Structures are given as structure tokens and as C-alpha cells.
Structure 1
């Protein structure tokens, strides 16, 4: 089926944001460093504090990744908002295709890793009497996870493939985007900005379901940046100045005021502005080699915990110790293995599964049309 021409005035002339794609892969890898501390958590049935400074290899050189890699999740949300605005605002048929596209892209790998983690957690629990890191491995959390509803406020805590919590909250941001799409088309910047400010304001005043509110806030913040670009265009110099100003604001908020949430907000959009500045300056598309690197970020993000759990099971069984994880070579091995898994997953599982889901949906629609 041929798609109609893009709606006028709702899509930037620049089709590909290569630096932004590359940054998604870098952000996924940043999360790996934050979660590397899991290797040093013994079999306990309660929260265990890891002294990252003592046990993490290369901590002196990479302390900022080990201590702050988790804020890459907020960056993912902001980038998603920008990308969704770029893809869907000008697509006249977006609302009809939106959810099928999301299911085909997200659920196959989520379901695969969910099942694998459930099996390996059972093995770990059988050997140690408790679960590894995420302790809510029950039927209720499994059923919630099947629908990616496991971090909407009904959960006791993270469960099964724990990092997927951020994907669960993002589903609600998608729903808000889908509902607001007609209004966003009429006023891309102001509508997205209002949604972002409302969600983040509720978060900062400690309203319930803070993770969901932050996700929606960052997501629509990214969409608002896209709306501003539609109105004013993308100018590398302006973006670079904004990135520098937001970086200084993040440092001031974090160091002088010890206000981590506000510093993360400023730093996230500083990074987004910086990547957009690079993309805007790249008029000859010299960064085209990075165009598809971001495709692996979803796989890196969802595979790294199952891989970590598999390595822990192997180390506990064969060596009886995880001391090897304190070696720099093992850190590089884990990060490299996760990245390779991300690329392999995208090529040999995610894309084929996506095509299969879309093909089955198309057949279903054709069958329904014939029956009528």
C-alpha cells in the first residue's frame, strides 16, 4: 500500500540524524557500566550495596560511567520523543499504523528475553535460594511483563528482565503521543512543551508513579525540541550554544545545589542539543556510516541483563567465584559481548520477527476483507 505524501510543514528537510543514532548505541553501553555492579552482588534476598569504587575495573578512568550510566535512560526517552515526532507528525496515516508498528518492533525481543530470564532465574534460585538482583519473579509480575505493563504503578519493584522497566513506562508515553497526535500536528511545539512541563512538574512535586511521569516528560521534551526545530529550523551554532548553556546549568544544579533530578534534566537536553548540532553541521552526510548503529541499541539494552545472569551462573558453577569480573579484560568482554548480541539480535531476530508480525497482520486484514 502506497503511503500518502507527508503532511506539509511537519517534517524537517533533514531525513537522517546520524549522530543521534550513534548516541543511542553509546547510551545503551553507558547503562552496561551502571549495571556492571550486579556481578558483585552475592545471593541475598534484599538490596545489597556495592562499593563500585573498590570493585569496578578501570573505575578511576571511567567513574562517571559506573556512577551515572543510569541517566542514559532519560536520554533514550528524549531521543524517542524527537524521533517519533520526526516519523509520525507528517504521516497522515500514522494513527492507524502506530500500534502495529510498535508491537512488531518491541514485543518479539521483549518476550524472548523475558522467557530466557525466567528460566535462568529459576536455575539461580534453585542453586542459591534467592533470585539474582530482581526478586519479584512471580506469576503476577510475569503477566504484567507480558503486556509491558510491569512498571505502570501496579508492581512491587523491578522484575525478570529488570531493565525493561523503562520500556514499560515508555509504552504509556507512546499512548499519550498517539492520543495527542492531532493536537501536536496543529501546534507541535506548544502542545509538546505543555505535556512535558505538566508531566515533569508532577514528578518534581512527588506525585505518584514518578517513573511514568519522568518518561512522559522527557519524551515530550524531545518532541518539543522537534517542534521548535520545525518553527525555527536547526542551526548548528544555536544548538551548540544551547548545549553549552545546559551543560553549565547541569553542573551548577548538580554540584552547587545537589539537585540531581534537575541536573539530569538539563544534562539530558544538553546531550540532545549537542548531537543535533553535530548532525546539522554534517551537511555532506559524512556520518552516514553511523546511520544504522542505533538500531542495535534496543538489543544491547534488553540482552545485557540476560547475558549477565548467564555469565554469573557460569562463573558460580565453574569457578565458584566472580572475582574475574574485577579484571578490565572481563569488563571489555562483557560490554563487547552485549554489543555483538545487540547487532546480531537486530539482524537475525528483531528484523525477521518484525517482518513476520507485519506479514501476519496483513494476512489477517486480507482474510477479514474476504470474509466480509
Structure 2
């Protein structure tokens, strides 16, 4: 296994952009001070900008969230399962690593969204997209449990609901790893039970994420075994199988295809990177900006809404391709700058300040998950 899997970095970056496209419909929701076509009953999805190019993202971008959970499981089993079970990674170290990576940008974007939603209410008596923007829900976001079941609905920087769930997944994972050595059998059992509960519509909002996370752990164990035994013929079979599952998933969306599609995709990307080691290097920056892209895209939408109203436009302007291109031209470079000049320096400083012993950089070499990112 390579020290860093740039192919997975790229994949999670593209998945984050899929969520960005899926959320373009925010501009046409009922809770919207823009007026005009601000009702999803009148919303024309096929008229969204450059729809013929990005229809898959516009129509199915929400599915990327499950990919994030599966990828997170893969990465955390890879990075932490043995070190936690062998007591080489304490709860303090694990918590500090996660806090330093996730919380600073989460806090800043929460404050930005709170300010911008207040502006919308003060000037147009309407929030944008999400309406439960009160002190109680602010508190839930502040402590990272905005989607644990205590909320009345989506609020503030609502796409961070997946980050909220992922924090819970981290806690479950740490407990499972700490209580005993993780094995593929234990991981399979947890994933199977969680996914069964999801199929039976039991387990609430937690069943599918837990199942996806531990399915990612099972993907890690399966990948390690496959890589020990792989041949050119088996790689060819893997590519064909992954393609067929993706076709079945795209056509039907059925559980029988939905379950293996992301594990097979992860393994296929790893094999591809091993075969073509430099293929993904020029695109690795896409993975770097995943978390900032995910957390910044809704605040930027608020800025666009306020600007559009001040300039006298209604929501129809967001059907125009220029609006999307300008939005992406701000979001992507802005995310890159945020990662390099805010996220990374502050992460390094916090880890040094909060840990009794310095944390070596190599511990973070492999790809980090979205909730080093997450999403709706």
C-alpha cells in the first residue's frame, strides 16, 4: 500500500464538488428571500446551469455523502485501528487530531453563516434555505451535535450534518478499537447489523452511516488481502466488476449495487494508482481542498443571494451558466487559500499546543476523509 493514496484524495474532492452541485437547488427553495421561482414545485432541475454536463451531480450528488462515510471507515481503520487497540494512540491524541483538523473551520463558517442569516432576516424577514437559526441550534452546532436527533430541523451551515454524524462515528470506532483488536469478522458483523437495520428502517439516522463506516473498514481488510494476491487477470476482473456495479447502481440504485459500489471503487482506485503511480499526483490538490470546499460552499451561496438581491436580481439569475462559473471561480481558489493559509497552519499550531508530546507529521500522510470533510 502506498504511503499516501492520491487517487482517494482526488475521489473525495470530486465527491465534495458533487455535493456542491446538488445544493445548487438551495437558490430555489421555499425558504428564500429571492422571490420569483423560489418554490421547488416550480423548480426546473434540468434548467440548472450546464445541466447537460453535470446532470449526475445535480441529480445524485447527495449520494456522495455515503462515499465519504465509507472512505472515512477505510482511512480510520488504516491509520488508527491497530494503534488504538495496542494503546499507542490514546483518546487524548485521537481527540486532539480530530479537533484540530475539523473544528477551526467549522467554527468560523458557523459564525459567518449566523451573521449572514441575521442580515437576511433583518432586511427581508426571511432566512435562506434553512430556518432553524436560533440560539438553541447554534449551541448544537457549537458542540458538534447538530444532527444527533436533538434538533428541530436543519440550521445554520446545515451541510455539516454529515460532519456531526461523523464525529459520532469516530467515537464508536474508537470504542470498538479500544475494547479489543479489530478484525475483519468483527467489522463485518457491525457493518452487516447496521445495514440490516437500515434496510428494516430501524436504527434511525445512525444505521446507514455506521454501516457505511464499518463497510469502509471491511474494504480496508479486503484491500490488504487483495493486494497481496493480485495479478493482471484479477485486476482486469476487478475493473470489469466495478464498471458493471456502477452501471447497475446508476440504472437501478438498488441496495444490491449500492452496497459494493463504493468499496469496489476504492479498491479500483488503489490498484490504478499502484499501476500508474504518477497518474494522480497533479490532481492531489483537489483532495486538499475537500473540507474547505464543503464547509465554504453554503456560506458562499448566502453571499451570492445577498448580492443578487442588492443588485435587483431574483432567483432566475441562478439558472444562468455565468452564475455557476463565477461561483466556482471563487469557491475553488478560496478553498485552496483556506486550506494552505488557515486550516493547515492552525491545525499544526493546535496540535502542538494541545498535545503533551509533539505529533509526527507522517501520521497524517495517508488521505484524510471528507469529514476531514463530510456533507448532505
Bin the TM-score by the shorter chain. Answer: 0.7 to 0.9
Deviation, 1:192, is 1.9
Determine the structure 1 residue equivalent to 2:223: 229
Gaps of 5+ in 2: 359-376
1:305 aligns with 2:293: no
Deviation, 1:277, is 2.7
Determine the structure 2 residue equivalent to 1:174: 170
1:199 aligns with 2:165: no
Deviation, 1:117, is 0.4
1:333 to 321, 326, 345: 326
1:346 aligns with 2:313: no
Q: Scaled by the length of structure 2, what TM-score is found?
A: 0.84
1:140 aligns with 2:133: no
Partners of 1:236 and 1:52 lie apart in 2 by: 48
Kept after mapping to 2: 8 A contact 1:236/1:280: no
227 and 184 in structure 1: CA distance in 2 versus 1, 3 angstrom threshold: farther
Deviation, 1:146, is 0.8
Deviation, 1:288, is 2.8
**TM-superposition CA deviations, 1:281-340 (whole Å, max 9, x none):** 22x444333344312100000000000111101111112323332221221221232222
Deviation, 1:247, is 4.7
RMSD: 2.6
Determine the structure 1 residue equivalent to 2:26: 38
**TM-superposition CA deviations, 1:232-286 (whole Å, max 9, x none):** 4264754663454355345446645x64x5544343334323322322322x444
1:217 aligns with 2:205: no
Residue 53 of structure 2 aligns to a residue in which SS? Answer: helix
Determine the structure 2 residue equivalent to 1:107: 103
| Larger relative contact order (CA 8 Å, sep ≥ 6) | 2
Deviation, 1:155, is 1.5
Q: Scaled by the length of structure 1, what TM-score is found?
A: 0.85
115 and 246 in structure 1: CA distance in 2 versus 1, 3 angstrom threshold: same
Partners of 1:54 and 1:289 lie apart in 2 by: 33
Determine the structure 2 residue equivalent to 1:5: none
Kept after mapping to 2: 8 A contact 1:29/1:335: no
47 and 172 in structure 1: CA distance in 2 versus 1, 3 angstrom threshold: farther
105 and 236 in structure 1: CA distance in 2 versus 1, 3 angstrom threshold: farther
